[in-house]
Amino acid sequence: MKKPGIQFAEPEFYEKLGLICGIEMHRQLHTEQKLFCRCPVRPYSNVYHAEILRHMRPTLSELGEYDPTALMEFKTKKEVLYRLNRDTVCTYEIDDAPPFSLNREALNKAIRMALILNLSLVNEIHIARKQYLDGSIPTGFQRTTILGVGGYMMVDGTRIGIRQLGLEEDACREVSDVAHRRTYLTDRLSIPLIEIVTEADMKTPAQAARVANAIRRTCHLSQVCRFGYGRARQDVNVSIRGGERVEIKGVPSIRQIPALVHYEALRQKALLEIRDRLLRDGIAGDSFDTVVDISDLVRNHPHPAFATRWGAGVSASAIILRRCAGILAYPTGPGRTFGSEVADRIKVVACIDRMPNCLSSDNPEAFEYADLFAKVRELGGADNNDCVVMVAGPRADVETAMKEVRLRMQEALVGVPRETRRSLRNGGTGFERLLPGPNRMYPDTDLPPIVLTDADFARERALCPQPLWEKEDAWKAMGVSTEQIGRLLTTDTFILFDAARPKVSLKPSVLAYLLLDFVPWLKRRGADVGRIDADFLAGIFADATDMKQKDAAARLAAACDVTLHWTVKPARNGGESK
């Protein structure tokens, strides 16, 4: 996987594609309690004391319409199992009690973050419900509100628009998703979460990663956010000219962003090429209407796609894709073809998650099964110009699979479907669900509006740090390296660095070296580094003007009762080290 600063191609390549990209950054807030109840925020645990089984159903919007994502999730017929820890959830989380008033500590910290990002703040907060039928929230909806819009931040001298900042409750942690059952742990549920949404101002994969890193550093600088596994996530929105917005959901690491943006741009390019070929060949929506029962043909067939428990209620079907031979073999990403797109739909919507879950005549290994495909084509009145896709499993699931294959082929005639996709380790993506629309949002009638006053804004404005780009420029002017600046911010060492710098006469770069590299080295050797604060450092280095790195390290080691037995070597920042 390439690092954030490394280009996959020249900017001109992405400009020709018409690539645009936006980031949605999610960060939990440092609070003692959850957002809409008084349950404590505690470290995640796999311990649970009870289980609850639920089924989700879609509801109409205020305009009497269904959200397409909710309808897609309903088609999966999922059972949702929640594992409850009595120390971290209450009856609110499982929708057996109304919400408490909104956590004011979380609200104040979210306001501060909105001010840091130069957003225009609302003066009255209205809570809305955002529908989620994947089961990640037991109520079937997430309570959320928007605090500000129209902000900005500077990244590498470029102004990046911040569309909005929202405050919402976090969702459950997924344990497993097998066939028709999803299992969740509820310890993360309802922890206060901010969502920072940028404008689609990024034009290259590397720029997208740099902006994500800048938002990450700003969150550290604010000192209101939690970090670590499961506490910080980002979504990446990508489109190219002629394509559609595709959301890559839950990217766990910023390092993955360049590859994901690059390959999603190429995937959309491939889908547009597939569309052009289908239209050029005169293929229409009714080209995918032929479905035949092939249960007797494949019941004892050795291919893994048919390795199911045959019995009552189990069948196999084939769908004929007229004049589409070769389409499912068209490459769409690293190790993926258009056939992967079809298989994803079968896996996610029909819940046939045994892989491979289908066999197509475009599959490279299909030549081994020429006799089988010949018999299926005879049944369906097809020829070698047609593509055949075969699926086996529970009858209801196979029927759903046939409908999804037909739907995905009809979408191919349009080009790029609006989807939410999951990230894969190789930089590719897989289908997760359709992209939600505005019909998933509706007002929450359980909570009254909250009026914000000038005093609320003034209190948080007084606590706002210097803008990230100004702080980084100031540190660079002091001689602190770019590498040190990144580590100061993302390890939160900048707090001690800023407190100690006016009190010591060390060069800022030497002070940064001591805090970032040498203090951890002392800690690994058993030194009591907990007492190292600004005053402790002032007592050692108040008269240390022009002291070299090795001498400063020796003085700090002596103060911590550690004897040094090492030679001087180049440090990571280009100075001297052990």
Structure confidence by residue, pLDDT tens digits, 29-69: 999 999 999 999 999 999 999 999 999 888 777 667 788 88
In this structure, are residues 317 and 145 in contact, taking their beta carbons and an 8 Å threshold? no
Residue 205: pLDDT band (50, 70, 90) is very high
In this structure, are residues 29 and 192 in contact, taking their beta carbons and an 8 Å threshold? yes
Please name which of 103, 80, 105, 108 lies closest in space to residue 92, comparing C-alpha atoms: 103
Whole-number pLDDT of residue 25:
96
Residue 272: pLDDT band (50, 70, 90) is very high
* Residues 149-157, mean pLDDT to the nearest whole number: 97
Residue 546: pLDDT band (50, 70, 90) is confident
What tens digit of pLDDT does each residue of 487-527 get? 999 999 999 999 999 999 999 999 999 999 999 999 998 99
Lowest mean pLDDT among 58-62, 121-125, 160-164, 323-327: 58-62
* Residues 358-375, mean pLDDT to the nearest whole number: 91
Q: Give 284-412's CATH code, choosing from 3.10.450.240, 3.40.50.300, 3.30.70.1450, 3.30.1360.30.
A: 3.30.1360.30
Pairing type for strands 181-185 and 79-84 reads parallel
Domain with CATH 3.30.1360.30 in the chain: 284-412
Whole-number pLDDT of residue 574:
46
Whole-number pLDDT of residue 61:
72
Whole-number pLDDT of residue 262:
96
| The pLDDT of residue 573 is above 60 | no
Residue 576: pLDDT band (50, 70, 90) is very low
Residue 246, both tokens: 């595709």
| The pLDDT of residue 298 is above 60 | yes
CA distance 349 to 358: 14
Whole-number pLDDT of residue 565:
66
CA distance 210 to 118: 19
Pairing type for strands 576-577 and 290-293 reads unpaired
Which residues, in sequence order, are CB contacts of 270 under 8 Å at separation 6+? 330, 331, 332, 333, 338
Residue 401: pLDDT band (50, 70, 90) is very high
Whole-number pLDDT of residue 285:
92
Whole-number pLDDT of residue 572:
54
Whole-number pLDDT of residue 578:
39
Whole-number pLDDT of residue 561:
87
Which residues, in sequence order, are CB contacts of 456 under 8 Å at separation 6+? 108, 111
* pLDDT, mean over the chain: 92
Whole-number pLDDT of residue 570:
43
Whole-number pLDDT of residue 575:
47
Query: What percent of the chain has pLDDT above 90?
Result: 83
* Residues 436-452, mean pLDDT to the nearest whole number: 88
Residue 112, both tokens: 């501060």
Whole-number pLDDT of residue 554:
92
